[in-house]
Chains A and B, each alone.
Chain A
Amino acid sequence: MARTFYPHEHFAPRPSTFNLLPLKFTRLNGKELLVNEAGEFLFAPTGTIQLLTDQTIDTASELYRDLKAKHFLYDDTSSPLLDVLAAKIRTKFDHLNGGTKLHIFVVTLRCEHSCDYCQVSRQTASRGEFDMSQATADRAIKLMMDSPAREITLEFQGGEPLLAFDIIQYIIPRAKQQARERGKNLDVVVCTNLACVTDDILMYLRDEGVKVSTSLDGPAFLHNKNRPRPGGNSYEKAIEGIERGRAILGFENVAALMTTTAASLDYAAEIVDEYVRRDFHSIFLRPISPYGFALKTRHRTGYQMDSFLKFYKTGLKRVMEVNRSGYRMAEAYTQILLTKMLTPHSTRYVDMQSPAGEAWSVLVYNYDGDVYASDESRMLAEMGDRTFRLGNVHKDNRRTIFTSDAALQMFQASANQSLAGCSDCAFQSYCAADPVYHYSTQGDMYGNRPTSGFCARNMEVIKELFTLLEQNDRETMQIFWAWITGRSLQSEVVECA
């Protein structure tokens, strides 16, 4: 005997009316892109927004069901699942939970490199007065541990921090002891060009569980052009240090970052290939930071954001080709944005947070004890502008640092939800505010978005990624999900839209 089911209207009667949930929209590739408060998105036909605001959308249509499923509306046949949506929003802001996690110790300004683009006003390698003292280190460690965060990352920077290795050796055991006493987990990273690293130093770092982050700007001709040092052998030193570091610390404990100068712009594919050749599985196509010494030399190293975006797109295309050939390599900026676009989660990348990561997520303790809101804030100070100096380790505590005039002024401009140009933007939940960048480039912490390089970069990159997501090419999606989840390139694709 044949059996039939009731029509679906029997189970889900057609709603008589519906209510909108908060959403933002933009137009992209001939469609309307809708984004809800938690960053979930839907590509819809042109005219959908008008139908929604006029309340004339067909409530029996597939589109209506998609809008309902993605939290763009609710009706009298369903609970709006507000608790679920609120939980997703809360997850999106999880980076605020717990307090400042990244603590950067600038242990010296000394460096033996003389890079044009260096963001630090470096000092010659012999001038010890630019090293952090033990007394300053003690106070900085205490302030770091006063953060309510349970997961703390201590990052040594310079100058070249290994030139002040004695103070690193002083800080690490003391920080570890205090972390144990306060029940915190402590990760330690040294950012070094590796030019002066020795096996003894590497063995010490291995024994203390310290990771290394180094610089690799591309092939030898480019790296050595960007990073001059006596002997003209920065590249050779970096490669030798990477190999020795991997051998002693373990392969996964040595990472590399690149900076894009004007000289890099024509070599995106070559830079990616160099990272593949050196067996790195992540590359961060970063623009030059408009701070510190880079401002003085921008006629040699600088470029317009349009040029960087062309470089980024060429580089990303090459990275995708590399992945299609079976070699897993993530582009870090894309990975961060995709995580924000395709998952409910936030990321710990402090430069792309709202409220801005400055102070909330990162604090910088300079060699002289001054405390800054970010590495970029400190770079500005090295050029004589102390706008983002929040205090000094010898005079201030966490409360006075966070309630200083400098901090409060910065906080007012640090949420893109309330900034002109951002408050209506469909990409708001993926993007950030960055008052330090805008102060540095436009003289105004709030910034003017139509002329902002930060806005131009993120707007263009996010549009590029949404275009790829809308195309929904199986292989591309497989690569993207592999980056987000850390799974292999062959894993099954999770449908996103």
Chain B
Amino acid sequence: MAEPGDSGTSAAAHAVVEMSLSMVSPEALLKTCYWFSRDYVCEVKNQNQSVAIVVLSPKSVTPDFNPDSIRDAFLTNALDFALREKIEAKTSGIRDLLLAKAFSESGVLEDEPEGVFGDKIEESNPDGMFKILNNTQR
């Protein structure tokens, strides 16, 4: 979990989020800021190498502005982007393979997609996807 930080007070015109960079990468943090940028000015500061501070200032303050709920929403979104990064890290290789197969007219790939696919059954299947890769290795 990202570490909770100073959520500000209800009187504050901004929300403050303290984020552990070991939990949420800078890229995931910036993607979260991107989506919040419609309604908030997002100021990102590095407190130190492992913690970032995000100050969210509403572009127009409304009476129901609640820093705590904004902070919660930001944390949830940031953690979701961190999960997406994990999924991408685990699946990018096979995604490349799938897309290459989908758009290969000839059935023969020019380059072997990077990544470990780890499916022994499919690898041993003489008519399977990995036959395509073997063709390119000859």
Contact = CB atoms under 8 A, between A and B. Distances in A.
Query: Chain A at the B interface: mostly helix, strand, loop or mixed?
Result: mixed
Contacts of B120: 76
B12 to A, nearest CB: 23
A424 interface: yes
Q: How large is the interface on B (under 10, 10 to 19, 20 to 34, 35 or more residues)?
A: 20 to 34
A53 B128 contact: no
Contacts of B98: 22, 37, 82, 85-86, 89
B89 to A, nearest CB: 9
B61 interface: no
B94 A22 contact: yes
A496 interface: no
B80 to A, nearest CB: 7
Contact of B34 (A25, A74, A420): A420
Interface stretch (B15-23, B50-58, B64-72, B99-107): B99-107
A126 interface: no
A23 interface: yes
A148 B81 CA distance: 41
Contacts of B94: 19, 21-22, 80, 82
Interface string B18-60: 0000000000000100111110000000000000000000000
Q: How large is the interface on A (under 10, 10 to 19, 20 to 34, 35 or more residues)?
A: 20 to 34
Interface string B118-132: 111110010011000
B101 A83 contact: yes
Nearest to B103: A90
Contacts of A420: 34
A27 B95 CA distance: 23
Contacts of B101: 82-83, 86
B99 A424 contact: no
A54 to B, nearest CB: 9
A19 B87 contact: no
Interface string A147-186: 0000000000000000000000000000000000000000
B102 A90 contact: yes
A78 interface: yes
Interface string A418-456: 001100100000000000000000000000011100000
A19 B118 contact: yes
B16 to A, nearest CB: 21
B80 A27 contact: yes
Interface in A6-30: 19-27
A196 to B, nearest CB: 46
Q: Which 10 A-B pairs have the closest CB atoms?
A: A450-B38, A86-B101, A22-B95, A89-B102, A90-B102, A22-B91, A86-B102, A53-B86, A82-B129, A20-B90
Interface of A: 19-27, 37, 49-50, 52-53, 74, 76, 78-80, 82-83, 85-87, 89-90, 93, 420-421, 424, 449-451
